[in-house]
Chains A and B, each alone.
Chain A
């Protein structure tokens, strides 16, 4: 593999990573702070993509769609919390898994009713349609935007959690939930805001993924599984962990897919390498997760609790 190709593949890996981070950030906050398993997070991603596609196709502007999407997702997340999720806070994890799995089915059916079973059209914004050249590498401009947007959101999350009053309350709520409540903070509102924030992040991931991937019913589940892997590797509840683990998973997955088949071809016969290569490549991140669970069950970057 030439150096240029390696750089392109590393960029591809990072870009998948930041997309995963947008998903993982919301999921890990909710899981870590509220001890709540929210399988419906993938549905927020799907709804984000569908709503963004609808807004984009209606207004004709990707940027306007992006601006309108955030408050809609915020509202969706908060309403969902108020109607369904808040009733499940005190139940055990199995009940939460069952109920939020039900929500996945609900949202899939809702999307099917609203937008039909066929995938929906969504195009890259015109200004970013082509590929850009730098250092002799051609790379799709839109993917650079995804990369940049993901890193910006990561920075935003860091600032929010570590340098704002809301972030301070969130961090306090994670470790001393009852104490924060006793100090007169409206924990319910805090929780609803947290879900809203998670929904916005997932929706933005859906918006960014829409022009690259197929916007269709059920698109949230494969990414949800990857996201789960990310938060397990990163350490549940840790934004920092989610960030590094997303990048690790993105890069391992991408490089595994490209390097492993070539590597195996050097070791064994072509026909068996063609069978084993993709199979092992698709297992790589799960193997990584298993190794992390065996050696560091708390994850690579767990939350530091005082």
Chain B
């Protein structure tokens, strides 16, 4: 990257073109020579599409708020949809690396896609800021100095869930998850802090539409509580069917990444009473979050989800680090150092990086409650996770 042009007219033109490209949505078409290229990969279609859309919308919101720039550098964002398919994700990553020659890649919604594209991207020494999926291996043995996460590792999400279940005093719990990497991580993470008895663990097909059979089995097992991990549309299907079986309110349901800002609008009051552990809820009380929620709701007419919040944090993180290096990415180690400082105000509250570049940030008990006739997510007490997987001990930064 060249130093900033001294010619102010040229700089203005660049900014104007970047801003115009943003407002027109013609992101790929912006040809501003000095604009930093950021590739966004996310699941934008199919049953998980709302998650990736939230990540993308929040990321673009952060750029828009800074006039088309991050860290005073004009940026263009090239959007790719992985369709929740690892092979499509690899194609998208290859395209971004080889033909678009992006400087930074961000996003990534699901763990199976992350597992497929993490190595090609970090091997190419392209900076990679994941804002959702956090499969355990990349937080541990396969960690890379080029990879940063603004979300969590999958285990942490469910360590918080297990801790919360424990704190609430449930002894016999029935555990269900989708049958893929993150689902497996979910159950192992859950069991780390849960001291009671897991009656049964059930894995269902990814994107399974109908859970009536599993719900009947669950009912027959009569547990104290149910813990589920069903992100996106799977969660909506499950909660609807759980309620129709007459179980919501009878057998308490706890979850992680199942009831969130993307699924609640489709469930509304059907989900009232469900408990979840989450890194974020729109009512988290800090000034940057208030501003974020207000701007997001104004721009997109819906409350932000945790996916949006994490992606917004990714943009804020990039903003802070790019400012520190004055937009110069030629010294890669310097930019990594700048990212590692995490010198930004996270909407999740206090935020710093562990040695594996995964965040050390709070998790909350989040309830679905009815407020003025509307179902909303309300964070209350932070969850104090007793035992962490400590993946960073396995991680040797190279």
Contacts and interface: CB of A to CB of B under 8 A. Distances in A.
Contacts of A279: 179
A240 B214 CA distance: 30
* B-side interface mostly: helix
Contacts of B237: 212-214
Given A8-B216, A117-B53, A131 B245 contact: yes
B16 to A, nearest CB: 28
A124 interface: yes
Contact of B210 (A16, A218, A261, A278): A16
Contacts of B266: 118-122, 214-216
B268 interface: yes
Which of under 10, 10 to 19, 20 to 34, or 35 or more describes the interface residues of B?
35 or more
Interface in B199-238: 201-205, 207, 209-210, 212-214, 216-217, 219-220, 233-234, 236-237
Contacts of A108: 45
A213 B213 contact: no
A12 B50 CA distance: 29
Q: Tell which of A13, A117, A258, A282 has the most Cβ of chain B within 10 Å.
A: A117
A214 B258 CA distance: 13
Interface in B53-93: 53
B216 A12 contact: yes
Which of under 10, 10 to 19, 20 to 34, or 35 or more describes the interface residues of A?
35 or more
A254 B50 contact: no
A5 B216 contact: yes
A217 B47 CA distance: 7
A219 interface: yes
Contact of A261 (B47, B202, B209): B202
A222 B244 contact: no
11 contacts: A116-B302, A117-B50, A140-B241, A209-B209, A212-B244, A213-B236, A218-B45, A222-B207, A255-B213, A282-B179, A282-B205
Interface of A: 2, 5, 8-9, 12-13, 15-16, 108, 116-124, 129-131, 138, 140, 142-143, 209, 211-219, 221-223, 254-255, 257-258, 261, 274-275, 277-279, 281-282
Interface of B: 44-47, 49-50, 53, 179, 201-205, 207, 209-210, 212-214, 216-217, 219-220, 233-234, 236-237, 240-241, 244-246, 262-263, 265-268, 270, 302
